[in-house]
Structures are given as structure tokens and as C-alpha cells.
Structure 1
Amino acid sequence: MTQPLRIRIGQYTHSGHKSVNQDFVGARLPTGATLGHKGAVLAIADGISSSDVSQIASETAVSGFIEDYYCTPEAWSVKQSAERVLQALNAWLFAQTRNSPYRFERDRGYICTFSTLIFKARHAHLLHAGDTRIYRLANQQLEPLTEDHRHCVDADTHYLTSALGVHPHLRFDYHQLDLEPGDTFILASDGAYEFFDASDITQVIDAQRDDLNGAARTLVEQALACGSRDNLSVQIARVEALPDPTVGELSRQASLLTLPPALDAGTDFDGYRILRSLYISSRSHVYLARDTLNNGPVAIKVPAMEGRDNPHYLERFLMEDWIARRFNHNHLLKAARREHERGFLYVATEYLEGQTLSQWLKDNPYPDLARVRDIVQQVASGLQALHRQAMVHRDLRPDNLMIDAQGTVTIIDFGSASVAGLSEGRSRDGVIYGAALYAAPEYFLGEPGDLRSDLYSLAVIVYQMLTGKHPYGPKVARTRTRAEQHKLRYRSAQEHRPSVPDWVDECLRKATQISPHKRYTELSEFIYDLNNPNPAFARKSQPPLIERNPVLFWQGVSLILLVLLVVQFA
């Protein structure tokens, strides 16, 4: 059993000498898979004294943030999830002020400062707007991790330059910090932090190591005793243990499951009856099975014997089940409905009757452009669903696209997919995912790739469907530096199939650019240009001579240089 993240949390808030406490604090320390996928959260907010409703803003900000953060997709990164929630809360608070009697007096509206610290895997993620503060206590030194968003006019006058509810769009600071066991963090409102120093905090925390709630309360009481006249709030978090950086959440789940036995036709296995073998490879064995509860057909995939001792392989194996269970999309492989507890490590998905695109192309070489567009549109629809959830397929190729008798195309095999929310805090594995002919060039440079990498793979498939070839052949897979990749040249699709329209060829040229920054930024743009002549492509002249005939180009250059030398010496 691998070591999970362990955090100890304490907090305390007090109205001080005021009748209303406009501060609000909150924390959530989940367990199990939720801790691995979303992490632990601390949040603090401080209302402004000129407003009679800012305590509502503070409570809404903290409670709403924590609740909504854990409702965001597990596939999203911490930054994406937190930013979406914060912007939504800010818009709501701003709208409340605009629709209230204080719409012309902004400093009396629903406004509060906000700071949060999210612990996930081996990192802490900090988001901050206003003048609440976050510190890290290290070597008895109090290190400030935030800067106050506050402008001081004079000793008695200052105002916030950023806070929730001030503007329709929130400006906030974001930082990601590496964690070490023993790291201690303090979140505090100005009523508290202006009245304590590092030695106070160190002594209090050392004296109450097992009672951080008590430590937070002691710090608030000390600040009150030192003359604080404001509301006071303190939160303390100490990192007690960190997970292994090489082991992900799916690896931890895999360690809890029993490896399946050898399967044969007629075997009863975990609620299924094995009917026959469908596919065997070095990565997995796939069987057609029947669910004994509803008699429905399912595909059962079990890990190959060669990788059963490899935690990373088992994690990638479970990735397919993890992703399939989060979608119900016509063009993405669906997980089989599970009506009983799983006792073994395997993947159960819907059974698709049909053939792969590779097989289909053998029966339908050089399909017409309309059929190609239809297939590509369906694949793009599935990819867009993945991309909206911060997932990249990374292994898009004809063998991973199934076509049924009705012509419906389904993307299968998510074992190589990248999921932003699962890869945070993990060390790079150095593996190049995807088939060599279809993998985007950036993968061969050790880069993680993004949606433009899937777009490249899809464009290569389109090129193959139209021409039977690949735009760069096997050359991309042989490159390991940018200098080598810059020497690669796109081969026009018209060289292999003259009937391909100029504008379609230019569309494919752009989608398969070696540099991802030169490709389309969205799949929708690529699909549109594949269906509609782009005026920019229509006006474009034929490719330069160096691309059409490099040998002739350099022969011409050599001839010009020879003539210049003869003229110079003459």
C-alpha cells in the first residue's frame, strides 16, 4: 500500500472587539480517491469594514469555493478548477452589488478579500486576491507567499486594488509550490497578522503540535491582547507525509485489486461468462463476454502477463476504465454498466461490432472527400469531448477508431491518454506515446503535448485516407531535436492524389505543421477549413521551389554562386 498525502489542519476566527465578524474561514480534508484527485483545501476571506454586507460575501466566497471546487471534474487541473470557481463567485458577488441599493457605492457592496491554499500530491497551489496573507514557516522564519493587493494613499487611507466582487473579472495571483514533509503554512487576516511574528508562531505551534485548532486560537488571543481592534482569523496547515512522486492515484487503486486469472471460453469471471478471445497483444488480452445479470455482450480487457509487475503499466491500463466511466458520448468508447462489485483488475466496456479504420481502408481505398469528412467530423466530435475535460488522447490512429455497420465512428483505447488532473505532481515518465507514424513531433522531443497534438494525429489520418501515404513518412519518429525537425518538409497530398483540392491540401499542410504553434488552435477551425475553402488558401500561390523540388532549388543556388564567382574573378 503506497503512502497517501497527509495534512494536519487547524483554524480559528473571532469577531474581536466588533459586533459582527466579517471574516470567514473554511477547510476540507477529504479521504480516499477524492484526496488524490482534488486534494485538501483551506480558504480565508475578509470583508471590508465600510460594507454592512461584506460578511455575506466572505461566507459565500469561502463556502461556495470549497463546495464548488469539489464539484469540478476530476480530470481538470487544480488551477483550471479553482480559477473557474473563483471567476464564477466573483461574477455573482459583483452582480449582487449591481442589483442592490449599493450599486453606486462600490465600497459598501458585496466585497471581500480571498486566499486559498490547495494541497494536492506533492504541490501546494496558492490563489490570492486582496490583503489576507499566506505564510510558510521554515527554519523559524516566516516567509510571506502573497503580496497585498492594497494601495496606500497615506497613513490613514488605503484601498484594495483587487478583491472578490470589485470588478466583473477577477485579477488574482496564482503560484504552485513544491512541498516537503514538515512544511507549515499560515493563512491570516490583517487583524491577526499585524500583531504576531515568526517567533510567536513557532513557539505556539511547537507547544501545540497535536492541536492546531488550539494553536490558531492561541495566536488570535495573543493578537487581541496586543491591541488588535479588527476581526481576527488564523488557519494552520502542516504537511506530515507526501505520496511517492512516481506513483499516481490509479496506481494506488491498482494495488488494491487482484490480478485476474487466465481466461478461456466458458470461464465464469467476476459476474461475466467469457465467450471467446477477440484480440491478444503484448499490452492486453481482450475477450467477448456476456454479463450474467442482464445477458448483454461486453468486452473484457485484462493486462498482459508481461506487465503485471509494473505499477506504471497497470496505472495506464486502468486509465481506460477511468476515462470511459466519465463519458456517455456517441463517439467515445463507453464503460460497461457495472451492477456488482469488481474484485479483479480488468476493464469492461461496451462491445462494438464493426471494424477498425485500418481494416475499413483496406476495403475502401481512396475514399471520396465526402466520406472522409463524415468520418473525421465524428472523430473530432469525440476528441472535443475529451479536450473539454482537459484530456488528450495521445494515441489517435486508424487501429483505435472503430466503424460499425451504420457508419458510426468510435474512438477506443484511452490507455495512453493524458489527464491534467491526474498528472499533477507526477514526474515525467519519458515514454513516447502513440504510433510512430501518427504521433505528433513534440512527443519525440519529450514534450507532454496538448489538443494540437491530437489535431496533428487526426490530420495525418485524413492525409492517409486521401492518399494512402503519410505527410512526412517515418522521418518524424527519427528526430530527437528541433534542428532535425526543422529539416522536415511536408509532401503535398496532390503528389500522391492530384484530385485533392488545393485548399484541402493547404488545410492539411497547416494541421500537420511540425511546430504546434503553427497549427490550428482548435479542432473546429480544422474541420471548418476541411469543409469550406479558406480564402487565405485560395489566394496562396503554389509551394516554394525548395518544397516542390529541393534538388532543383539548390542546383539553382549553386549555379548563381558560380556565376558570381566567375564575374568577381574576371
Structure 2
Amino acid sequence: MTARLTLSIGQHTDAGRKAVNQDFHGSCVPREPQLSVKGAALAVADGIGSSDVSHIASETAVSAFLEDYYCTSDAWSVKTSVERVLAATNSWLYAQTQQGQGRYDKDRGYVCTLSAMVIKSNTAHLFHVGDTRISRVHAGADSCALEPLTTDHRVWVSPGQSYLARALGVDVHLEIDYRTVTVQPGDLFLLASDGVHEYVSAADVGEALSAGGDLNEAARLLVARALANGSDDNLTVQLVRVETLQAHDAGELLQQMAELPFPPQFEPRSEFDGYRIMRALHGSSRSHIYLALDVASGASVAIKAPSIDLRDDPAYLERFLMEEWIARRIVSPHVIEPVVHEGRRSYVYLVTEYIEGVTLAQWLRDRGKPDLDAVRGIVAQVAKGLRAFHRLEMLHQDIRPENVMIDRTGTAKIIDFGSASVAGVREMAPAPSGEQFTLAGAALFAAPEYFLGEAGTVRSDVFSLGVLTYHMLTGQLPYGVRVPQAQSRAAQRKLVYAPAREHDPSIPAWVDAAIEKAVHPDPSKRYEDVDEFVFDLHQPNRAFLARTSPPLIERSPVAFWKGVSFVLLVALVIDLALRR
């Protein structure tokens, strides 16, 4: 049986010598599949004593974090999910502060500090703002040491006077410290408010762990020790020990489907699972696609079956199974739609809508070279599909003419997610340190960084979209076949862009410049987003106009010849003057 993430958690809080406890804490260890996809979450928040509503801020911060984090997209990374949740929480707290006494005095507003942790796969993701603290406990048989993992955001004016430099609810903008640490079974972490961590030592922690029957008792003993040592603040402690880690297998998420057998090569009129095969649409060494009829609804669908020749390739099977997982999460008219199969499955396969049309590759062969407006229209639609991927922290990584369908209405749809990368899934099975990224898509449209063994970014999809645009306009590739051969930075610096205008002088210079920027070998010099590229394809970028302005003789022949005549006149006058 595959190992699961299991944790032991102990926690305790007390108002201490104060009348009201303004601390708040919580933890959530969800059931599968959320435990594998999102991990386990813990948080401690600490209100400020000068505010009568600070306890509301603390409770809101922790509750919103633990509830809303698990409502974010499964495809998002932990960092993106938590930062968006905390940003929304901060906005709400700040708005409440602005409506009350805190508008004029932030120390009386809805303000709190927060330290949060998400443990997913073999990584602990830490988020911190304020003076609560997260530490790793190194407890041995005879000694104990505390390794601080967060930095207090407190500025000391004098030995007895300080103020918070950062907190939730203080400003409309929130700056959060984020870091990750690799965890191992047996690792122990301590989350504490300043009423505890300022009043207990590593030796105190060691004694509490030794004396306590469990982590809850150890947490209670730490709070008692902080009180005995003179703490005059609220006191909160969370202790979390990693017992076992989830096995590094992203395919665990799809285990039930993966246990199904590979389908045979279907014949026309054969039936299974409520579908009737009509005919084969496409076949390759990697997959077979069939037109089928949903017998119950009468709708035409496309069924994609994996190649039986690759049944022993776990990486291929994982990518194939992930296609449906990805398709179910993307909603865009420019991305192929999945057909959800609710009944029992007999085989491994993927069902999608049937698109009556042709691939972009076939469309180009049938029509010949399209005009600029037609290219712009298709590129804009593909960009909208890519944006749907990027919003979910996914990369398609295989944009090429064969992976874009054009239906009878002229709508472009991205198909085939076999090479797609999902940030949230990558975190479930992190690559070993030093391991290089392996390109899964086609090489000729792939970004140069893939051939250096680097993982892709949004700019990598921008590169592929730029190559697609160039290919549609010229029938060629901007660097020929040299990109896959350039497998060092030095070789990539030698790549020279072949202007599209050399193949078709009717292409505006500013359009050519936009494509050149999109396909630059250095990712930092490309567009950050597909929308920026599409905009520059439609609207002349002033920077490109200044750089690519045609010569004066083309822009204004009369002005050019007037200038030449004036220069000749000046030269003649000077010559006559010298002869005298």
C-alpha cells in the first residue's frame, strides 16, 4: 500500500494574565484525495493588545486560511493558493479597519500577525507576517535545539519599546514571507505566538517533550512554562510531527483509473461502456482516436485510447491519465471540452467533444499561406486558450499546428494535453535535486530553455505561440531546425532570427518585430504574457516603430529629394567659395 502523509499534532492556547485571548489557531488534515492534492495546513494568529477587535482579526485570518485554501484550484501551487487567500483576507480586514477607529489609529483596527504552514508531499511551505514564529525542533536524547524558520517583523525602538513592521489588516498591500523546507519522517515543528516563544528556551521545549505524554500535553506544558517564566501576553502553541510522508507518485491521484486494462484496437460498430465506435479518426504510435456515438444521448464524441505498445511506460501512462484531469479543470471555448463519463469504465481512455473540422496543419495545407488578418484571428483564439491554462498555473508545452483544431465555424481549439505541466501536481512529486527537465512535446516549436534541461514558464508557451505565428505567415521556422541543436547557453546566444519579411515583404516591420520578441532565445527578453504578444500583433508598438521606421525615401520621396538637393546646393556654394 502506498504511504500517505500522516502527522501528529498537539496544540494549546490560554489567555494568560489577560482578560481576553486574542490568539487563534487551527489545523486541517483533510481526507484523500485532498490530502495528496493540497496537503495539511496549520496556522497561528496573534492579535495586538491595543485593539478591542483584534481577536476577530485573528479568528478571521486562521479560519479563512483553513477554509478557503482548500477551495482553491487543485492545479495551483501551494504558494499561489495561499497568497491569494491571504491577500483576500487582508483586503477584508483592511476594509473593516477603515470603517472603524483603526482608520485613524491602525493599532486599534482589525490587525493580527500570522504564521501558517502547509505540508505537501515532502515539502513544508511556510507563510509568515508579524511576530508569531515557526521553528524546527531538533530534539535529541540529552539536548534540544530550536531552528527559527521565520523572521520576526518587529522593530525595536528601545529595550522596552517596539512596533510591528508588518501585519494583516494594516495596509491594502500585504507583503508575506514565503519559504519552503524539505521534511523527513520524524521532523518536529513548533508554531507559537510571541507570548510563548519569547519566554521559553530550547531546554524548556525539550523538557516539555520529554515530560508530556503526547504533543497536546507537551503544548500545555510549554504554555505553563511560559507563564511561569513571566509571560504577560496570550499564549498559543502548536506542535506538529511528521510521522510518514506520501510516496513520490503523482499518479497516485489517478490510481483507480490506472488499474484499468488498456483497450484493444476498436473496430467499427463495436460497443463498450455505452459508446459505439463509428470509425477511426487518427492513429499513431502513441494513441488512437475514434469517432464514437454516445448511445444514450445520441451525441458524437471522440475517444482517445492509449497505445498498447506503451503500456509498460509509467511516464507515458501518467501523462495520458492527466489529460482528463486537466481537461476537467479548464473552461474555455478555445480548449477542447471533456465528456464526463459517470458510469463504470472497462478500459483506460479519454472522451472529449467531437470537433467537426481539421487540424491547423491541414487547414494550412488546404488554404495555402493565409493573410495577416486570418493569422491574427487564429493566434488570438489560441492565446485565449493558453490563458485558460496559465490562469490555473498550467503550461501546455506543445503548441504546434497539429495540436490546434479549426472547426466549421472557424473557431480554434487547443487539443492534446499530453505534454502539459501542472504546478500543483508537480509539487506532489518533486524532481530530485539536480535532475533535469525532460521535454515531452515536439522539438521544433519548443522553447530553447527546454533543451538546457530547464522547466518551462509562461514565456515558454509564448515562444511556441510566436513560432506558430511565424510559421503561419511564412511556412518556415524563425531559426530553422537549429533550436533543438543549441543545447548550451553559448550556442543559444548564436541563434539568429530570420526576419519574416525576408519571406514575405508585405508583413509590416512592426509585426515582424513583435514576433522576434516573442521568439527571443532568452526568456527574460520575451513577452511576459500571451496577451501582450497578441496586442502587439494588432497595434503598432511605438518602440518597434521607432526601431523599424522605413527610410525617408520610402516614407516621403519628395522630402528626401528636397534634402538631397539642399545638400548638393550647399556643397556647390562651398566649392565656389573655395575657388575664389
Do they superpose with TM above 0.5?
A: yes
Q: Is the 8 A contact 2:399 2:464 kept in 1?
A: yes
Aligned residue in 1 for 2:174: 170
For residues 284 and 495 of structure 1, what CA distance do their matches in structure 2 show? Answer: 38
Which whole-Å deviations, capped at 9, do the CAs of 1:117-153 have from their partners, x for residues lacking one?
A: 1101111011111111111012431111112111122
For residues 204 and 143 of structure 1, what CA distance do their matches in structure 2 show? Answer: 17
Aligned residue in 2 for 1:495: 502
Q: Is the 8 A contact 2:291 2:354 kept in 1?
A: yes
Following TM superposition, by how much is the alpha carbon of 1:477 offset from its aligned partner in structure 2, in angstroms?
0.7
Q: Is the 8 A contact 1:251 1:312 kept in 2?
A: no
Following TM superposition, by how much is the alpha carbon of 1:3 offset from its aligned partner in structure 2, in angstroms?
2.1
1:224 aligns with 2:227: yes
% identity of equivalent residues: 53
Following TM superposition, by how much is the alpha carbon of 1:372 offset from its aligned partner in structure 2, in angstroms?
0.9
Which whole-Å deviations, capped at 9, do the CAs of 1:358-384 have from their partners, x for residues lacking one?
A: 111110111111111111111111111
Secondary structure, in 3 states, of the residue corresponding to 1:41? Answer: strand
For residues 159 and 343 of structure 1, what CA distance do their matches in structure 2 show? Answer: 64
- Choose the corresponding residue for 1:527, options 534, 539, 542: 534
For residues 212 and 455 of structure 1, what CA distance do their matches in structure 2 show? Answer: 50
Aligned residue in 2 for 1:72: 72
For residues 254 and 496 of structure 1, what CA distance do their matches in structure 2 show? Answer: 52
For residues 453 and 143 of structure 1, what CA distance do their matches in structure 2 show? Answer: 38
Following TM superposition, by how much is the alpha carbon of 1:249 offset from its aligned partner in structure 2, in angstroms?
4.8
For residues 246 and 481 of structure 2, what CA distance do their matches in structure 1 show? Answer: 40
- 1:303-382 pair list within 5 angstroms: 303-342=306-345, 344-382=347-385
Q: Is the 8 A contact 1:251 1:311 kept in 2?
A: no
Following TM superposition, by how much is the alpha carbon of 1:61 offset from its aligned partner in structure 2, in angstroms?
0.5
1:182 aligns with 2:186: yes
Q: Which amino acid aligns with 1:455?
A: V
Following TM superposition, by how much is the alpha carbon of 1:339 offset from its aligned partner in structure 2, in angstroms?
3.1
Which whole-Å deviations, capped at 9, do the CAs of 1:305-363 have from their partners, x for residues lacking one?
A: 23222322221112211111012311001110333244543211111111101111110
Q: Which amino acid aligns with 1:106?
A: K
Secondary structure, in 3 states, of the residue corresponding to 1:478? Answer: coil
Secondary structure, in 3 states, of the residue corresponding to 2:103? Answer: coil
- Choose the corresponding residue for 2:266, options 245, 264, 270: 264
Q: Which amino acid aligns with 1:272?
A: Y
Secondary structure, in 3 states, of the residue corresponding to 1:385? Answer: helix
Q: Is the 8 A contact 2:501 2:512 kept in 1?
A: yes
- Choose the corresponding residue for 2:419, options 413, 416, 421: 416
Secondary structure, in 3 states, of the residue corresponding to 2:61? Answer: helix
Shift in CA distance, 163/4, structure 1 to aligned 2, threshold 3 Å:
same
Unmatched runs of 5 consecutive residues or more in structure 2? 551-580
Following TM superposition, by how much is the alpha carbon of 1:54 offset from its aligned partner in structure 2, in angstroms?
0.4
Shift in CA distance, 250/398, structure 1 to aligned 2, threshold 3 Å:
farther
Q: Which amino acid aligns with 1:179?
A: V
Task: Give me the TM-score of the superposition, normalised by structure 1.
Answer: 0.91
Aligned residue in 1 for 2:159: 155
Following TM superposition, by how much is the alpha carbon of 1:98 offset from its aligned partner in structure 2, in angstroms?
0.9
For residues 453 and 256 of structure 2, what CA distance do their matches in structure 1 show? Answer: 27
Q: Is the 8 A contact 1:456 1:511 kept in 2?
A: yes
For residues 259 and 208 of structure 1, what CA distance do their matches in structure 2 show? Answer: 51
Moved more, 134-143 or 251-260: 251-260
Please tell me the root mean square deviation across aligned C-alpha atoms, in Å: 2.0
Following TM superposition, by how much is the alpha carbon of 1:200 offset from its aligned partner in structure 2, in angstroms?
3.1
Secondary structure, in 3 states, of the residue corresponding to 1:171? Answer: coil
Task: Give me the TM-score of the superposition, normalised by structure 2.
Answer: 0.89
- 1:94-493 pair list within 5 angstroms: 94-139=94-139, 140-206=144-210, 208=212, 211-245=214-248, 247-249=249-251, 253=255, 257-265=259-267, 266-342=269-345, 344-424=347-427, 425-427=429-431, 428=435, 430-493=437-500
Aligned residue in 2 for 1:558: none
Q: Is the 8 A contact 1:298 1:351 kept in 2?
A: yes
Q: Is the 8 A contact 1:365 1:468 kept in 2?
A: no
Moved more, 222-231 or 307-316: 222-231
Greater C-alpha Rg: 2
What is the count of residue pairs matched by the alignment?
Answer: 541
Following TM superposition, by how much is the alpha carbon of 1:170 offset from its aligned partner in structure 2, in angstroms?
1.6
For residues 548 and 230 of structure 2, what CA distance do their matches in structure 1 show? Answer: 77
For residues 9 and 256 of structure 1, what CA distance do their matches in structure 2 show? Answer: 33
For residues 254 and 300 of structure 2, what CA distance do their matches in structure 1 show? Answer: 30
Secondary structure, in 3 states, of the residue corresponding to 2:151? Answer: coil
Secondary structure, in 3 states, of the residue corresponding to 2:331? Answer: coil
Following TM superposition, by how much is the alpha carbon of 1:29 offset from its aligned partner in structure 2, in angstroms?
0.5
For residues 257 and 299 of structure 2, what CA distance do their matches in structure 1 show? Answer: 29
Which whole-Å deviations, capped at 9, do the CAs of 1:238-259 have from their partners, x for residues lacking one?
A: 11122334x2155653675312
Q: Is the 8 A contact 2:129 2:166 kept in 1?
A: yes
For residues 122 and 81 of structure 1, what CA distance do their matches in structure 2 show? Answer: 18
Which whole-Å deviations, capped at 9, do the CAs of 1:30-67 have from their partners, x for residues lacking one?
A: 12121122111000001111111100010001001111
